[in-house]
Chain A
Amino acid sequence: MDQDSVTYDSLEVRPLPKWLTDQRDGLNTIQPVKMEMKEDRSLSVSFVLTGAIILVAVTILTVYLLRKKKKNQ
């Protein structure tokens, strides 16, 4: 109804129905945005960081203790 046409000079210039041009041009397809789950790597990162911190701490403490022992000798 909204696309009611007036009388045109000829059928050649009469526009196609709006529902048809909208379907052809993809204008009927606006849908709510679909959210997609992204891969969650936070747990792996957390494990790696924790491991790295432990290794660094152990290394520093080892070096510290070895130097202290050497000094005492």
Chain B
Amino acid sequence: MKIILLSAILSLACTTKVSEWVLVNAPAGRYTLIYFYKDQINETDRNRNSSVSREINHANIDFRSVEKKDIVQPYYALYYGNRLFARYDDSKNLTGLTVSPLRQKIASEIMAGKLCVLIYLTTGNKEKDDKGMQTIRNTLNDSPFKNIIIVSELSRNSADESHFVSLLLNVEDDLKTISEPMLFGVFGRFRALEPLLGKGITEENIKLMIDFFTADCSCVIKDDLPGMDILFTDNWDNPSTAMVNRILDENPDLLHH
């Protein structure tokens, strides 16, 4: 009886790691793309919006049209919750909104069982960028999890990834004004943690980020998951087994909460 009772109580304690729990259990937050128009939508715009809707159909985004009397010309606005992320005056600017080469690569790494992807957003200032990258490399070289963490460098000025850069810089509302290198930890269904930036990119802080991903998933994290979901495809079914579990099984001394 005591053994049964003890087993029941122990089963309440979650030993799934944060990175794995979020990928399997936490649906990505949804964006809203709104087409604001005045009076009525003409046939051309209606067809164009149908095309936009089809293009973003498989992502964590909803699309709708809203009539607004006080506007000069129609436009699109991207929201996350009630925060305005971007405004687009032309539907051509929406190309690649929900998908891009780097985002596809990151998602495939996460689905393959990697712990996380660290995105290093560079500024174009070589001295600053190199210093941060060196710190990241040094930290990962000493980490037992180095083989399951992917580092991806992304320029703020990347034309192919302009939407992705914009989304990352919206993770916090003052990031656009800070011209420092930033390190985002991406995990789960493309959730990006609030970044380490500038002098905050230290070995100690990067280790704490790795600790965050490899810790047991507590109710505190489940109830108030930090970070923000990035716009991407909504298909996160059947991920591979998390590689972190094998490393922790083989090295129990690395286990922590």
Contact = CB atoms under 8 A, between A and B. Distances in A.
A18 B194 contact: yes
Given A17-B194, A34-B9, A34-B10, A11 B215 contact: no
B255 to A, nearest CB: 12
B173 A31 contact: no
Given A3-B226, A17-B195, A20-B196, A28 B13 contact: no
A47 interface: no
B193 interface: yes
Contacts of B24: none
A7 B220 contact: no
Contacts of B6: 35, 37
A29 B218 contact: yes
Contact of B212 (A2, A6, A11, A28): A28
Nearest to A11: B198
A16 interface: yes
Contacts of B211: 23
B227 A34 contact: no
B2 A19 contact: no
B86 interface: no
Interface string B168-180: 0001111001101
A24 interface: yes
Interface residues of A, number: 29
A31 B216 contact: yes
A3 B145 CA distance: 28
B42 to A, nearest CB: 37
A6 B171 CA distance: 13
B77 interface: no
A17 to B, nearest CB: 4
A1 to B, nearest CB: 5
Contacts of B226: 2-3, 17-19
B200 interface: yes
A19 B226 CA distance: 6
B199 interface: yes
A31 B195 contact: no
B194 A3 contact: yes
B215 A19 contact: no
A16 B177 CA distance: 17
A30 interface: yes
Given A1-B228, A32-B13, 11 more contacts: A5-B173, A11-B199, A17-B193, A23-B208, A23-B209, A24-B208, A28-B257, A29-B215, A31-B257, A34-B9, A35-B9
Closest 8 A-B residue pairs measured CB to CB?
A: A17-B194, A19-B226, A29-B257, A32-B12, A23-B212, A23-B208, A7-B174, A32-B13
Interface of A: 1-8, 11, 14, 16-20, 22-24, 26-35, 37
